[in-house]
Amino acid sequence: MCLCLRKHSSFSPRKVEVEYDKQRRNAVFQSGIDISERIQLDPKTQEEEDLIRTAIENNDFMTKILFGDILKAVIPTMYKRFINAGDVIIKEGNKGSHMYVSITGKFEVSNQNFKNTFEDVRVFGELAIIYDAKRLATIKALTDAEIWVLDAVTYQQVLRRYNVKEQEERVNFLIKNDILKNAGEKVLKSAANSLKSESFKGDTAIVTEGEKGDKFYIVRAGTVTVTKKGEDFIQTHGKGYCFGERALLEETCRQATVTANPPLVECLTLSRKSFFELTEYLKIIPPKLSVAKPNIYQDIKLEDLKICFTLGIGGFGRIELVKHNETNKLFALKYMSKIDVVRDMRQQHAINERKQIQCSSPFILDMYKTFRDNKFVYYLLEACLAGDLWNILYREIPDKRFKEKEAKFIVGCVLEAIEYLHSNEMIFRDLKPENVLLTSNGYFKLTDFGYAKKLPRFEKTFTFAGTIEYVAPEVASKKSYDRAVDIWTIGIFTFEMLSGKTPFAGSTESSTFKKILDGIEKVNFPNFVPAAAKDLVLKLCRQNPQNRLGMDEGIAKIKSHRWFNGFNWNKLQNLEMVSPFMARAKKNRNPDMYTPDKNIPEDELSGWDEEFK
Give the catalytic positions in this structure: 430
Give the C-alpha separation, 213 to 371, whole Å: 57
Give the C-alpha separation, 362 to 440, whole Å: 12
Helix (H) or strand (E) segment spanning residue 49: helix 46-57
Q: Is 73:198 a contact under the CB 8 Å cutoff? A: no
Task: Choose among 567, 350, 540: nearest CA to 450.
Answer: 350
Which 3-state string (H, E, C) describes 167-222?
Answer: HHHHHHHHHCCCCHHHHCHHHHHHHHHHCEEEEEECCCEEECCCCEECEEEEEEEC
Name the percent of the chain in helix, strand, coil, to the closest 5: 35, 20, 45
The answer to whether 334 is a known ligand-binding residue is: yes
Task: Choose among 484, 495, 496: nearest CA to 543.
Answer: 484
Helix (H, G, I), strand (E, B) or coil at 546: helix
Give the C-alpha separation, 378 to 370, whole Å: 5
DSSP single-letter state for residue 155: H
For the chain, how many helices (H) and strands (E)? 18, 29
Helix (H) or strand (E) segment spanning residue 426: strand 426-427
Give the C-alpha separation, 528 to 444, whole Å: 24
Task: Choose among 344, 423, 333: nearest CA to 370.
Answer: 333
Write out the binding residues: 334
Write out the binding residues for ATP: 334
